[in-house]
Amino acid sequence: RLRHEARMGAGAGPRHVAFHPAGHVVYVVNELNSTLTACAFDPDGGRLDRGESISTVPSDFPGDNFPSAIRASADGRFVYVANRGHDSVAVISTEPSPRLLATFPCGGELPRDIAFGAEGRLLYVANERSDLITILAVEPESGGLAPTGREVPFPGPTCLLPV
């Protein structure tokens, strides 16, 4: 039985993880300090080695933010993080190392979860406080997001499953 403990640092507050599709990196979203940490992963030994951490919001954002969900694109080039407070979805490039490319409005308030649909071309956002699931288009080359104008009213959505 394998067991390994990886520490994210004081005040990080790890919340969720996403695996790179190739299985060699685990991305950890840290709720308390609004960061994403890339960890080298050894699937045979189960070992995580903490690497670089970056912010999930722009450096000039003055408010409180608490990242919630994290998802990796199918090709592993991008990681998406829902930001509660900034009310956005962060797009992070994974190569050569994690880098915040941009944040995009989530179309509502308090994005609690995100999930890909339509072969990775759509991103669904569960906006808990605004009782709304918004649907964003994913631009495969840049990783960018754009409103589709489609939304689903739903009371207090907190979890989404890929469709």
pLDDT tops 70 at residue 74 = yes
Q: Rounded to 5 degrees, what are φ and ψ at 23?
A: 85, 5
Average pLDDT of the chain, as a whole number:
94
> 11: number of CA atoms within 13 Å, CB side?
3
Tens-digit pLDDT profile for residues 90-112? 999 999 899 999 999 999 999 99
Give yes or no for a contact between 40 and 34, defined as CB atoms under 8 angstroms apart: no
What is the rounded distance in angstroms from the CA atom of residue 91 to the CA atom of residue 63?
19
pLDDT at 6: 82
CA atoms within 13 Å, Cβ hemisphere of 66: 8
Q: Residue 36's closest CA among 123, 122, 97, 115? A: 97
Length of the chain: 163
- 3-state DSSP helix/strand/coil % of the chain, to nearest 5: 0, 50, 45
pTM: 0.95
Distance CA 21, CA 18 (A): 9
Give the pLDDT confidence score for residue 46 in this predicted structure: 84
- Output the CA torsion sign for 59, 32, 98, 149: negative
